[in-house]
Structure 1
């Protein structure tokens, strides 16, 4: 996966460079665009039941895939702009979460850490 992510990062950088878009890719702008795209991803599930969200029709799944792609692309660009390795950051966060939510107390519950 890191190789795929690195390749994607290079493709995105070339895409932006060919269009002279780097000037618009300040971290603040990329983070804003990421949130907009995440909202569009959420919109695909608006008014669905939990069951419906688990059983998307092919055209719905295709629309969700397009929004997931947009979110991923902006996340990769933001990571690149800030010099953050998103895989290393995610692996570190999994370790933090493992300590915060030990299996013995977190298994089978959606309760937030420290919440009653």
Structure 2
């Protein structure tokens, strides 16, 4: 049975794992190549997939009150948080794939700004 996450259990020193955008790009490229999906991965196709995944993120928040959506999502169950994590990961993967297909190094651009 899922239980709401206690706000005292939220790690205040949150940080991302050291996985790089380039590692994600390579992992997804390998995934696509093994399935012979490259033919479907033109920038337009990737953009449409990305928009669909953004909609799936929105569905996770759609009927929750503002008070339920605090920093850390402390009132969300583990199941809800995992579902959101899956969709956020999908969006990041598609965003990196779109950058790759457009040959735009977003890491470089981020550092420049």
The alignment's TM-score, normalised by the length of structure 1, stands at 0.73
* Deviation for aligned residue 1:90: 3.3
- Asked which structure has the greater CA Rg, the reply is 1
Structure 1 segment 6-85 matched on structure 2, within 5 A: 6-54=22-70, 55=74, 56-85=76-105
Q: Which residue of 2 aligns with 1:107?
A: none
| Structure-2 separation of matches of 1:45 and 1:3 | 27
RMSD over aligned Cα atoms = 1.8
* 1:48 to 1:6, Cα distance in 2 relative to 1, 3 A: same
Give CA deviations for 1:80-100 in whole Å, capped at 9, x if unaligned.
0011112223345xx4xxxxx
Which ranges of structure 1 fall in alignment gaps of 5 or more residues? 96-116
- Bigger RCO of structures 1 and 2 (CA < 8 A, at least 6 apart): 2
The alignment's TM-score, normalised by the length of structure 2, stands at 0.75
| Structure-2 separation of matches of 1:85 and 1:2 | 18
The runs of at least 4 aligned residues of structure 1 exceeding 4 Å deviation read: none
- Do the aligned partners of 1:2 and 1:87 also contact (CA within 8 Å) in 2? no
Instruction: From the two aligned structures, give the one with the greater helix fraction.
Output: 1
Secondary structure at the residue paired with 1:48?
coil
Which ranges of structure 2 fall in alignment gaps of 5 or more residues? 1-16
Counting matched residue pairs gives 93
